[in-house]
Amino acid sequence: MASSPRELAYKALLAAEKDQSTGIDELLSTFLQQGELTQQEKRWIMELVYGVTRMKLQLDAWIEMAFKGRYRKAQHSVKSLLRMGAFQLKYMQTSEHAAINETVALSRKVKQSQASGLVNAVLRKIQSLELKDLLNHYEDEMDRLSIETSHPQWLLEKWISRYPLDEVSALCSHNNTAPKTWIRRNIQIVGAEDFESFLDGLDIKHKKSDVLDVFYEIGSASSLFSTKEFHGGWFSFQDLAAGLVASLIDPESGDTIVDACSAPGGKMAFISELSGGQAKIIACDASHSRLAKVRENILRLGLKQIEVLELDAAVAPLPAANKILLDVPCSGTGVLNRRPDARWKRQALDIISLTGIQSNILTNSWKYLAPGGLLVYATCTLEPDENWELIDSVLEHLDQASVEAIEHENLKPYIDERGALSTLPWRHDMDGMFAVKIRKAL
């Protein structure tokens, strides 16, 4: 018997609990392919799975209030069922009757019949509780904020140390919403008029960016993946902020550009498209499996003059280049609505190890940049430790290096006081990205 949407959502959430090393995106993608689902059913499953993942801390707090016994010791299967039911009760349009009864029925279907009474009792108790009842249960202000926003305390403490509380609340609210969907038109394959006609033909609402006119914000993406135009390289899915970072390389004919941490290859592809295939690009990454995605993008988008190399930019020799993009591994706190499980996987100490890796990548790559060349260092994190503090620390030891302020007129709203690109999710309604241009003297 085919799995129902609820059952598929349950399987994805249970798999995420059991396999912490695999991202929820990858797990969900696998389960969405297992059933013959309508677009509406896929959207419902995604809303439920991503929502439960984002709000897990708060959902667990609701459940603990209603649970008789030690909830933390409960089986993963029971936790997944209860979180699904609680999220539907508090955050989805599902009727309360359906949220409870269908979850109880699901518990029997997935061979958790012994838990059906418990699931029923806990959800009926949660049904009668309000958010204020839950928050009143916590005396400590930081505890309440953490539960209310469903963010870990260590991260809230870092943000509160440098942003006003209302901005931290706005950032958390942004992180708890589904991300906007942006697509990038491949200017080497299709013109704006034909592309917009294609979107109109699919009845997809679209709005062209005022900053980069090859980017479109769209209302719905799921029907686009199966089109021959997607497989023919007409467009890619990429957030506008990532496009802004790639545009800082300003590729020109004859350039040799190294993208040192390239996978999955979105920025590399945009740089190639901007150059009209006239720049030589070497796409590097330390991950053999992730480079497969880079090669896939190169073929699909019909990119020219691209070489792919498996190497660790922190230690290995890089090809000589006059331009280098370093989109380094980071804590990803600027993209927490796009990566809903990241807030639970990252710990405060991770940032210390990440800055070590970032420092090594920047120091090593610098040796292979030609005199007069440009290096763009970028992250998708909001943390100063990985951004300006890292740059200031490393540049003290780099020969002939100086920061070059970004002066593109259309990027002014996103440039910080020292000349770096700094998009802030709650202010700019796009991913949080940081990028700084570093020039090597002649």
pLDDT mean by block of 10 residues, the chain; 442 residues: 85 92 88 83 93 97 94 94 97 93 94 91 95 94 96 97 96 96 97 97 94 93 88 97 97 97 97 96 96 96 96 97 98 95 93 97 97 98 97 94 94 96 96 98 94
d(CA 239, CA 113): 43
Cα dihedral value 186, 191, 194, 197, nearest 10: 70
Under DSSP, the state recorded for 326 is E
Exactly one of 172, 284, 330, 380 is catalytic; which is it? 380
Kindly give, in sequence order, each residue whose CB lies less than 8 Å from that of residue 258, ignoring residues fewer than 6 positions away. Answer: 281, 282, 284, 318, 319, 321, 323, 324, 325, 365, 368
* pLDDT score, position 96: 93
Residue 133 phi/psi, 5-degree rounding, is: -60, -40
* pLDDT tens digits for range 405-427: 999 999 999 999 999 999 999 99
Cβ proximity of 6 and 31 under 8 Å:
no
Number of Cβ within a 10 Å radius of residue 334 = 27
d(CA 378, CA 358): 10
Any idea which residue has 């993008």 for tokens? 297
* pLDDT score, position 50: 96
Q: Report residue 180 as tokens.
A: 């906007």
261: annotated active-site residue:
no
* pLDDT score, position 1: 57
d(CA 148, CA 126): 15
* pLDDT score, position 301: 97
* pLDDT score, position 2: 64
Task: Give the DSSP letter string of 213-244.
Answer: TTEEEES--GGGTTSHHHHTTSEEE--HHHHH
d(CA 55, CA 73): 19
* pLDDT score, position 113: 85
* pLDDT tens digits for range 124-137: 999 999 999 999 99
d(CA 149, CA 151): 6
Cβ proximity of 106 and 6 under 8 Å:
yes
Kindly give, in sequence order, each residue whose CB lies less than 8 Å from that of residue 383, ignoring residues fewer than 6 positions away. Answer: 158, 330, 331, 333, 351
